């Protein structure tokens, strides 16, 4: 059973995204004064609490709320030529299509106006469109930016649009938001729905600009769920879309395309980049999309480093394979991509064409396989036997002639598989030998296509104080080793440069 749907519509810069974020109590949509920041349908599932006047024990109502782009976004005053010289007004038709799709499939429409700027001709245009659509019975008119009671008379001017009395709110201060949610709860009466179960997998799709992430999302959805355009940087927010294939559900996260940080045109692009990093963190598996018609770029390499830094299971998806010259074989491209994307040589590679819909199910199936590998927990006995065997075949060398000794090993976590090893000298396992050890572990354990985290700890003798009172945390020395990630920033994330 699907959830009731609520669409937030209105002209640009009335605060639609701010209202969504206020209702969700977190930053879902990017908010910026620039017209046209939101372009796709960005959604969030809300638990709408009942009004205080309802009897005790009354349940909340669940709904999926969609933020949409501003109507007529690129015909208003402001910049409409991007940094590459592309006319962004070409996106108007696609943005308005997404708005109409959200409205047509919604049980309730929140029509937002700006109380401080007053009713504009574009507000009247949107109101007329809503009247023609015959959806007046499911409209809530919301006058935003009513930051104090002195602005309420201006907010009530929206009643002149003929769509009902306006609800005065402030997405900044929260004024009137509770009354708004009460009205939403009342409007949803009789519209049944229940929260869907958590998906089996969260799948983030990342890549540089125009690699085909949105095309891949639409191919999975079987509809134009997100805007696809030759204009680079069309997707701004990270858009979650629910899917089910062969009885397995998953959430695909379409993220903003990335380019070098020094080329960022504005703050919006920086916010979009940070949302992309957040999407990687919350995903179980990532699809790193590579444009087969272009050379591997520095941005591709930086994204590969970020995935290694976060120990994220990754499927390398080579898109637009249908456009590659027939003389180039998959084997040739495999050799090329392995040399260029160093450090991800263990990641599986799938060749797809998002436009033709070829290879997409294979990529999703591979992603489910990687998640299974990441969730596997190996027994301590098997780990001890395997690592002792590897050390016997080739142990780390020491200039002082010290022999490396394994005292204890155990897998202490999954996703990523984290293996803790107590050894006599952790420094002997650093660098080259660690990489050798991880390669051998992938050969002998069911972690052949995913990253592994190794923790090396030196055995510490217990003092009399420890025996009586237990060890102090500050005296435990643990060294964490991971795949090298040059370009790592001070905050722990990598940035394109």
List pLDDT tens digits, range 17-27: 888 888 888 76
The overall pTM is greater than 0.95: no
Residue of 75 and 44 predicted with greater confidence:
44
Q: Is the pLDDT of residue 216 over 80?
A: yes
- The CATH number of whichever domain residue 453 belongs to comes to 3.30.300.20
The whole domain housing 57 covers: 5-187
Sign of CA dihedral 344, 350, 352, 354: negative
| 359, 212: one domain | yes
Lowest-confidence range among 28-42, 252-266, 305-319, 419-433? 28-42
Domain assignment of residue 385, yes or no: yes
Q: What is the 3-state secondary structure (H, E, C) of 171-193?
A: CCCCCCHHHHHHHHHHHCCCCCC
List pLDDT tens digits, range 314-350: 999 999 998 988 888 889 899 999 999 988 999 999 9
Strands (E) across 223-371 are located at: 239-245, 248-254, 285-291, 314-319, 349-351
pLDDT confidence of 395, banded at 50, 70, 90? confident
Mean pLDDT for the stretch of residues 142-164: 90
CA–CA dist 69, 86 (Å, integer): 19
Contacts of 154 (CB under 8 A, 6+ apart): 115, 116, 118, 143, 146
Average pLDDT, the chain: 78
Contacts of 182 (CB under 8 A, 6+ apart): 50, 51
Domain assignment of residue 223, yes or no: yes
| 169, 26: one domain | yes
| 209, 113: one domain | no
Number of domains in the chain: 3
Domain assignment of residue 151, yes or no: yes
pLDDT confidence of 481, banded at 50, 70, 90? very low
| 315, 346: one domain | yes
| 93, 14: one domain | yes
Domain assignment of residue 464, yes or no: no
Name the residue among 342, 363, 376 with its Cα closest to residue 448: 376
Domain boundary (138, 159, 187) is at 187
| 357, 384: one domain | no
| 289, 267: one domain | yes
| 95, 19: one domain | yes
- Whether the ω angle into residue 416 lies within 30 degrees of 0, i.e. cis, is yes
Tokens found for residue 63: 């709904």
Contact of 335 with 349, CB cutoff 8 Å: no
- Residue 47 CA, chain-centre distance (Å), reads 21
| 179, 210: one domain | no
Angle at 495 between CA 494 and CA 497, to 5 degrees: 130
Domain assignment of residue 465, yes or no: no
| 365, 413: one domain | no
Contacts of 120 (CB under 8 A, 6+ apart): 11
Contacts of 91 (CB under 8 A, 6+ apart): 36, 39, 73, 74, 227, 229, 231, 234
Tokens found for residue 26: 């977190």
Lowest-confidence range among 91-95, 121-125, 237-241, 478-482? 478-482
Query: According to the model, what pLDDT value does residue 176 have?
Result: 92
| 234, 337: one domain | yes
- The CATH number of whichever domain residue 116 belongs to comes to 3.40.50.300
| 347, 421: one domain | no
Domain assignment of residue 494, yes or no: no
Contact of 163 with 131, CB cutoff 8 Å: yes
């Amino acid at each position: 059973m699907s959830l009731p749907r609520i669409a937030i519509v209105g002209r640009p810069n009335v605060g639609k995204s701010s209202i969504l974020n206020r209702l969700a109590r977190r930053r879902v949509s990017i908010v910026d004064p620039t017209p046209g920041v939101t372009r796709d349908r960005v959604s969030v599932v809300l638990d709408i609490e009942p009004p205080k006047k309802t009897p005790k024990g009354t349940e909340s109502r669940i709904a999926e709320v969609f933020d949409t782009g501003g109507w007529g976004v690129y015909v208003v005053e402001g910049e409409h030529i991007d940094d590459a010289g592309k006319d962004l007004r070409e996106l108007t038709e696609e943005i308005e299509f997404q708005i109409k799709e959200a409205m047509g499939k919604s049980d309730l429409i929140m029509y937002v106006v700006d109380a401080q700027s007053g009713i504009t001709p574009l507000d009247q245009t949107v109101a007329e469109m809503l009247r023609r659509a015959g959806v007046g019975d499911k409209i809530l008119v919301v006058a935003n930016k009513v930051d104090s009671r002195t602005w309420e008379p201006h907010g009530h001017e929206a009643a002149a649009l003929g769509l009902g009395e306006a609800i005065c709110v402030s997405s900044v201060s929260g004024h009137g938001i509770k009354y708004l949610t009460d009205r939403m709860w009342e409007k949803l009466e009789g519209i049944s729905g229940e929260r869907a179960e958590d998906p089996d997998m969260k799948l983030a799709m990342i890549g540089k600009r125009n690699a085909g992430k949105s095309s891949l999302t639409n191919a999975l959805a079987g509809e134009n769920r997100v805007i696809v355009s030759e204009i680079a940087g069309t997707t701004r927010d990270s858009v979650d879309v629910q899917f089910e294939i062969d009885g397995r559900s998953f959430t695909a996260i379409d993220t903003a395309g990335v380019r070098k940080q020094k080329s960022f045109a504005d703050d919006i692009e920086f916010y979009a980049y940070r949302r992309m990093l957040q999407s990687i963190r919350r995903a179980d598996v990532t699809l790193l999309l590579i444009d087969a018609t272009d050379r591997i770029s520095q941005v591709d390499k930086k994204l590969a480093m970020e995935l290694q830094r976060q120990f994220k299971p990754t499927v390398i998806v080579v898109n637009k394979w249908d456009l590659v010259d027939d003389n180039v074989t998959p084997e040739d491209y495999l050799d090329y991509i392995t040399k260029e994307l160093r450090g991800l040589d263990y990641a599986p590679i799938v060749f797809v064409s998002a436009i033709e819909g070829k290879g997409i199910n294979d990529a999703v199936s591979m992603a489910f396989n990687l998640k299974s590998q990441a969730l596997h927990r190996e027994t301590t006995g098997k780990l001890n036997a395997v690592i002792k065997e590897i050390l016997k075949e080739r142990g780390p060398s020491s200039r002082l002639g010290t022999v490396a000794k394994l005292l204890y090993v155990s897998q202490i976590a999954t996703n990523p598989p984290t293996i803790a090893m107590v050894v006599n000298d952790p420094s002997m396992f650093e660098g080259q030998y660690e990489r050798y050890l991880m390669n051998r572990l992938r050969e002998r354990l069911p972690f052949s296509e995913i990253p592994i985290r190794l923790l090396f700890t030196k055995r510490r003798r217990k003092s009399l104080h420890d025996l009586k009172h237990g060890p102090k945390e500050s005296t435990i020395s643990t060294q964490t080793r991971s795949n090298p990630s040059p370009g790592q920033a001070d905050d722990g994330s990598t940035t394109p440069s």
